[in-house]
Chain A
Amino acid sequence: MTKNELGMEVEYPPCRSACPILTDVREYVQLIAERRYEEAFVSIRKLNPLPGVCGRICTHPCEVVCKRGQVDEPIAIAALKRFASDGLWTEQYKETLRGKSTGHKVAVIGSGPAGLAAAHDLALLGHDVTIFEALPVLGGMLRVGVPGYRLPKDVLDEEIRAIVDLGVEIKTGVRIGKEMKLADLFEQGYKAMFVAIGAHKDRQLGIAGEDELQGVISAVSFLRQANQGETPEVGKKVAVIGGGNTAIDSARSAVRLGAEAVHIVYRRSRDEMPAADEEIEEAIHEGIELAYLTSPVEILGQDGKVSALKCIKNELSEPDASGRRSPKPVPGSEFTIDVDMVIAAIGQAPDSSFLSDELELSERGKLIDVEDPNILATARTGVFAGGDAVTGPATAVKAIAGGKQAAISIDFYLRGEAQTEAEPRKEVETEKLPPNILEKTTILPRCGVQTLSQDSRLAGFDEVVSVLTEDQAIREARRCLHCFMGADLDQEQCIACKACVKVCPLEIPTISADGKVDIDIFQCQACGTCVAECPVQAVNVRLCPHGHIVSELESTLGQSQSADSLVVGVFSQYGNFKADHLDALGRDFPQIVPVMTFGLERVSVSDLLRIFQLGADAVLMAEAPAEDRPFSETQPLVERRNEIARDILDLLGLGGDRLISYTMPQEGLFEATWLSETIDGIKALGQNPLRKEAIAA
Chain B
Amino acid sequence: MSIQDLIEKTKVSFCQDCGVCTGSCPVSRVLPGFSPQQMVAKYVLSSDLGMEDEVLGEQDVWSCLTCALCLQRCPSKVEYLEFVRGVREEAFRAGNKITHAHDGILQTITQMQTSGLPQNRTAWAREAGTIKEEGEYYLFVGCVPYFDVLFKDMGVSPLGSASDMLKILNKFGIEPVVSDEERCCGHDMLWSGNVDLFKELALHNVELIKRLGCKKVIFGCPEGYLTFKEYYPLYCTDMGLDAVHFYDLVYDQIQEGTFQLSPLEQKVTYHDPCRLGRMAGMYDSPREIIASIPGIKFVEMERNREEAVCCGISCWANCSSYSKQIQMDRIKEAEATGADTLITACPKCNIHFSCALSSAEMGLEVKDLTQLMASAMGI
Contacts and interface: CB of A to CB of B under 8 A. Distances in A.
Given A606-B108, A613-B111, A651-B146, A535 B321 contact: no
A496 B324 contact: yes
Nearest to A690: B115
Interface in B350-378: 355-356, 358-359
A546 B121 CA distance: 30
A690 B358 contact: no
Interface stretch (B68-76, B99-107, B206-214, B264-272): B99-107
A653 B320 contact: no
Nearest to A640: B153
B112 A690 contact: yes
B118 A653 contact: yes
A537 interface: yes
Interface string A626-669: 00000000000000100010011011111000000000000000
A605 B103 CA distance: 9
Contact of A495 (B111, B150, B320): B320
User: What interface size band does chain A fall in?
Assistant: 35 or more
Interface in B111-155: 111-113, 115-121, 145-146, 149-150, 153
A695 interface: no
Nearest to B180: A653
Interface in B319-344: 319-324
B120 A650 contact: yes
Interface string B178-198: 001000000000000000000
A515 B149 CA distance: 28
A693 B180 CA distance: 21
Contacts of A546: 103
A492 interface: yes
Interface residues of B, number: 34
Given A609-B109, A651-B145, A689-B115, A497 B103 contact: no
A498 B121 CA distance: 31
A689 B359 contact: no
A491 interface: yes
B117 A652 contact: yes
A609 B108 contact: yes
Contacts of B324: 495-497
Contact of B150 (A537, A547, A644): A644
A536 B316 CA distance: 10
A610 interface: yes
A610 to B, nearest CB: 6
Contact of A648 (B109, B111, B153): B109
B103 A612 contact: no
A527 to B, nearest CB: 17
Contacts of B319: 495, 535-536
Contact of A492 (B116, B149, B320, B355): B320
Contacts of A130: none
Contact of B105 (A547, A606, A693): A606
B148 to A, nearest CB: 9
A604 interface: yes
Given A536-B101, A609-B108, A653 B119 contact: yes
Contacts of A536: 101-102, 319-320
A652 B320 contact: no
A453 interface: no
Contacts of B111: 613
Contacts of A96: none
Interface in A496-511: 496-498, 511
Given A644-B150, A647-B149, A690-B117, A494 B321 contact: yes
B321 A491 contact: yes
Nearest to B103: A606
Contacts of B112: 609, 612-613, 652, 654, 690
B321 A497 contact: no
B359 A610 contact: no
A493 B104 contact: no
A613 B321 contact: no
B33 to A, nearest CB: 12
Contact of B108 (A492, A515, A613): A613
A328 to B, nearest CB: 66
Contacts of A498: 358-359
Interface string B238-267: 000000000000000000000000000000
B102 to A, nearest CB: 5
Contacts of A650: 120
A547 B112 CA distance: 18
B358 A606 contact: no
Interface in A677-692: 689-690
Contact of B120 (A612, A653, A693): A653
Interface string A26-44: 0000000000000000000
B162 to A, nearest CB: 13
Contact of A653 (B101, B108, B117): B117
Contacts of A653: 117-120, 180
Contacts of B145: 651
Best-surrounded residue of A537, A612, A613 (most CB of chain B within 10 A): A537
Nearest to A546: B103
B119 A651 contact: yes
Contacts of B99: 537
Contacts of B321: 491-496
Best-surrounded residue of B117, B118, B358 (most CB of chain A within 10 A): B117
Given A495-B324, A497-B358, A648-B149, A606 B102 contact: yes
Given A652-B109, A652-B112, A654-B117, A537 B323 contact: no
A541 to B, nearest CB: 14
A689 B102 CA distance: 25
Contacts of B101: 535-537
A497 B118 contact: no
A292 B348 CA distance: 77
Contacts of A613: 108, 111-112, 115
A313 to B, nearest CB: 69
A535 B355 contact: yes
A609 B324 CA distance: 27
A497 B355 contact: yes
Contacts of B113: 652
B117 A689 contact: yes
A3 B333 CA distance: 47
A640 B101 CA distance: 20
Nearest to A511: B359
Given A494-B321, A496-B324, A610 B108 contact: yes
Best-surrounded residue of A491, A648, A690 (most CB of chain B within 10 A): A648
B320 A493 contact: yes
A610 B115 CA distance: 13
Given A606-B102, A644-B149, A648-B149, A497 B359 contact: yes
A435 B259 CA distance: 63
Nearest to B111: A613
A103 to B, nearest CB: 48
B1 to A, nearest CB: 26
Q: Across the A-B interface, give the 7 residue pairs with the lowest CB-CB distance, nearest first.
A: A606-B103, A606-B105, A653-B118, A495-B324, A647-B149, A653-B117, A498-B359
Interface of A: 491-498, 511, 515, 535-538, 546-547, 604-607, 609-610, 612-613, 640, 644, 647-648, 650-654, 689-690, 693
30 contacts: A493-B320, A494-B321, A495-B320, A495-B321, A495-B324, A496-B324, A497-B356, A497-B358, A497-B359, A498-B358, A536-B101, A605-B105, A606-B104, A606-B105, A609-B112, A613-B112, A640-B153, A644-B150, A648-B146, A648-B150, A651-B119, A651-B120, A652-B109, A652-B112, A652-B120, A653-B118, A653-B120, A689-B116, A689-B118, A690-B115
Given A536-B320, A606-B104, A652-B112, 16 more contacts: A493-B321, A497-B324, A497-B356, A498-B359, A511-B359, A535-B101, A536-B319, A606-B105, A609-B105, A640-B153, A648-B146, A648-B150, A651-B146, A653-B118, A653-B120, A653-B180
Interface of B: 99, 101-105, 108-109, 111-113, 115-121, 145-146, 149-150, 153, 180, 319-324, 355-356, 358-359
